[in-house]
Structure 1
């Protein structure tokens, strides 16, 4: 490797919200095949379970009749029947998981421009049904160990704190009449219990998200067994556990409204719930395929390949062209349902915590300052009347604070709230200008209608070309991607290398066929040189060797590939310099 310095670049990243949005878009583009595959998977699952249950019931009835009401014999026959039916249960479950992996492979191939027929994909996936079943068994065992670890930790915590509770005697404290101290203690214990439950939930969600990719790995990677798929899933999510957990969380938020509606309609039309499951299943598998690609691209340099067509997941985000009052045309990627859902739940969480804190402090102030001063004071207002007035004022202030949160942030923070900033989106006017007080106020005040009318805003964002909810239509606004924060419109970075690479570059200008390197291949080379320091050493070396080998085949002189007998990384650097200074000066 040549000596010298270089400025690191970061690849444009897909936020968790964008992973979900792009997964939904890819599902909608090829929904027919995915829906049929999901439908067949559910039919296999339901018919298999029904057949196994029916067979078990018939065996139980026969055993009951033949055993002359002998419970021991009946129980033995039923147990034997369960063992006989267990392989059928396992097979239909493995077939169901394999169908999901089939969808993930189809989506991944479409995303990366790999042509493979549906029949070929089936022939690659379905023969390994038992691998998918055993991978799910390994997942279940790991989660079972996590549950056991949590239960053991709670037991140790309980036996450690129980003597303290006994000595402190909370019941005697409550019976003593010291309501101030007892209320404080019970409130503190309640908050600690809630934090403990939240920690347990996060641990389980974290482990689940790290193990989520086993089926996709079995479908997309060669010579990987069930246990290896679990290990690979944990490996590709290294340093990305929180990101993977957020993708699962956003997907849950997106699928919750239609699931709720399906549950309500299921009371009148029982098949609606099943159909919703058929629709949601390929959505999850599509999001999984997109996330799998993104993780491997960031952690393993998957996109650094001269022979493959560059995959551009962001092209599946809806875009809009705007013209400013100065007649300047602007192009934006729309926010997307995933990113907007992430922003909304983040802002709602912050609002809830803030309001809970305000109500807690306000309640203490009311109980210990206002009530004694007013009820026991010279005015002698009745406590019931005071409670009604205070509740009405508090409700009004809560409503004002809830709307003021969005109005203030979007007005003074260039169309962003804390949630939107985390999701990397912002609100702008239809003209491309920043929103003002009027637009932010209209959007906030109409917001409850978008959720109140059977999640109408979710439907409009999911299926509308401009992804506008009612508040956006009324205010004349759009929600777009903050592409600068995502690294899409980052400033040009000048890479610098040592003298050896510069000397080799001059040699390549004279001897190599640099014009054979296409513009996409040149950009791939540039991205790798800027991003390579963020790869682990072993992966960086592997990618470097692969790119150098491909590059020799592309730009080598006609008489001999061996003529480019340079160190791998030196060859990549020199080729970039030579092309930058000759062919792609404006790139």
Structure 2
């Protein structure tokens, strides 16, 4: 069964990354903030243009003035969104405040071209008034996309909390687990694990509680498959996991604890040892 609240992307390393799809409510709040900012900008701009027109006594036709004013609003809307979504990698002030970001299919950055396409089609979404068509399409589409999003091949996702150096330093596993792992390093060739590999494991452990059970198990097994290539011996067998483990997440937690323990005892490289005999367990 498809989970419409998640958008999964498979990386070249065959690891699936999951994004939380932004709903209509959060996108509406972000749009209110952005349009309020645009309204302020246009208000000051109109005052300036009015004063300049009075000084120059241009005497333009009223219909032409209305047409130019409407065109100016449309171009200002497009310019605002294109500028911020390009410079801020898929975000505008409103999206940043609500915690949203636009990404291309495959998890790629939106970019200038993608932002230009989605925003110049904004006029079609706006019709007949106040994004009438756009809202209807968003209700119909299971990923809450409007016409511009579909044309640009992009999707609005929730921005996850940024990873900081402080958060990376904070161990995910318990203090007791780290101490216990320091006393018995049981994973052979642990020195082959790179800091980037450890960071990926830590990120999984942080996000695991927000994933569905199926997605959690699937991603854990994919990480184990990638790590066994790094370690140089099989971690999965036809009957289960090696090293006497019962599920993939247990292995990831143990690896994180032992990696932290190795750093605790002086960052000394762990000597390679022959792989332990396989003790199959049942996958959860």
Measured against the shorter chain, the TM-score band is: 0.5 to 0.7
CA 396–465 in structure 1, closer or farther in 2 if over 3 Å, else same: closer
CA–CA distance in structure 1, aligned partners of residues 255 and 9 of structure 2: 36
CA 413–582 in structure 1, closer or farther in 2 if over 3 Å, else same: closer
1:404 aligns with 2:79: yes
For 1:366, the equivalent position in structure 2 comes to 53
For 1:350, the equivalent position in structure 2 comes to 37
1:431 aligns with 2:106: yes
For 2:150, the equivalent position in structure 1 comes to 473
* TM-score, normalised by the number of residues in structure 1: 0.27
CA 490–417 in structure 1, closer or farther in 2 if over 3 Å, else same: farther
**Structure 1 stretches of at least 4 aligned residues deviating more than 6 Å after TM superposition:** 487-490, 580-583
Deviation at 1:491, TM superposition (A): 3.6
Task: Describe how 1:61-80 pairs up with structure 2 within 5 A.
Answer: none
1:106-148 CA deviation, whole Å, 9 max, x = no partner? xxxxxxxxxxxxxxxxxxxxxxxxxxxxxxxxxxxxxxxxxxx
1:461 aligns with 2:147: no
For 2:118, the equivalent position in structure 1 comes to 443
1:8-36 CA deviation, whole Å, 9 max, x = no partner? xxxxxxxxxxxxxxxxxxxxxxxxxxxxx
Assess if the C-alpha contact under 8 Å between 2:4 and 2:143 holds in 1: no
For 1:492, the equivalent position in structure 2 comes to 168
Task: Describe how 1:501-516 pairs up with structure 2 within 5 A.
Answer: none
Deviation at 1:356, TM superposition (A): 0.9
Mark the runs of 5 or more structure 2 residues left unpaired by the alignment: 184-204, 207-252, 261-284
Assess if the C-alpha contact under 8 Å between 1:325 and 1:431 holds in 2: no
1:298-355 CA deviation, whole Å, 9 max, x = no partner? xxxxxxxxxxxxxxxxxx9811112357766432111222221111111111111110
Mark the runs of 5 or more structure 1 residues left unpaired by the alignment: 1-315, 375-382, 496-500, 510-522, 525-579
Assess if the C-alpha contact under 8 Å between 1:324 and 1:433 holds in 2: no
SS in 1 for 2:169: coil
CA–CA distance in structure 1, aligned partners of residues 99 and 70 of structure 2: 32
CA–CA distance in structure 2, aligned partners of residues 462 and 490 of structure 1: 40
State the structure with more CA Rg. Answer: 1
For 1:53, the equivalent position in structure 2 comes to none
CA 325–395 in structure 1, closer or farther in 2 if over 3 Å, else same: farther
CA–CA distance in structure 2, aligned partners of residues 355 and 392 of structure 1: 15
1:452 aligns with 2:127: yes
CA–CA distance in structure 2, aligned partners of residues 433 and 441 of structure 1: 16
Assess if the C-alpha contact under 8 Å between 2:104 and 2:153 holds in 1: yes
For 1:194, the equivalent position in structure 2 comes to none
1:219-245 CA deviation, whole Å, 9 max, x = no partner? xxxxxxxxxxxxxxxxxxxxxxxxxxx
1:414 aligns with 2:89: yes
CA–CA distance in structure 2, aligned partners of residues 488 and 460 of structure 1: 37
Q: Which moved more, 1:416-425 or 1:467-476?
A: 467-476
Assess if the C-alpha contact under 8 Å between 1:484 and 1:490 holds in 2: no
Q: Count the aligned residue pairs.
A: 182
For 2:200, the equivalent position in structure 1 comes to none
1:143-191 CA deviation, whole Å, 9 max, x = no partner? xxxxxxxxxxxxxxxxxxxxxxxxxxxxxxxxxxxxxxxxxxxxxxxxx
Structure number with the higher helix fraction is 1
1:340 aligns with 2:27: yes
What RMSD, in angstroms, separates the aligned Cα atoms of the two structures?
3.7
CA 384–427 in structure 1, closer or farther in 2 if over 3 Å, else same: closer
CA–CA distance in structure 2, aligned partners of residues 353 and 443 of structure 1: 23
CA–CA distance in structure 1, aligned partners of residues 159 and 125 of structure 2: 23
Structure number with the higher strand fraction is 2
CA 490–334 in structure 1, closer or farther in 2 if over 3 Å, else same: farther
CA–CA distance in structure 1, aligned partners of residues 158 and 166 of structure 2: 14
CA–CA distance in structure 2, aligned partners of residues 346 and 583 of structure 1: 41
SS in 2 for 1:431: helix
CA–CA distance in structure 1, aligned partners of residues 256 and 109 of structure 2: 39
CA 326–477 in structure 1, closer or farther in 2 if over 3 Å, else same: farther
Assess if the C-alpha contact under 8 Å between 2:4 and 2:142 holds in 1: no
SS in 2 for 1:322: strand
CA–CA distance in structure 2, aligned partners of residues 451 and 391 of structure 1: 18
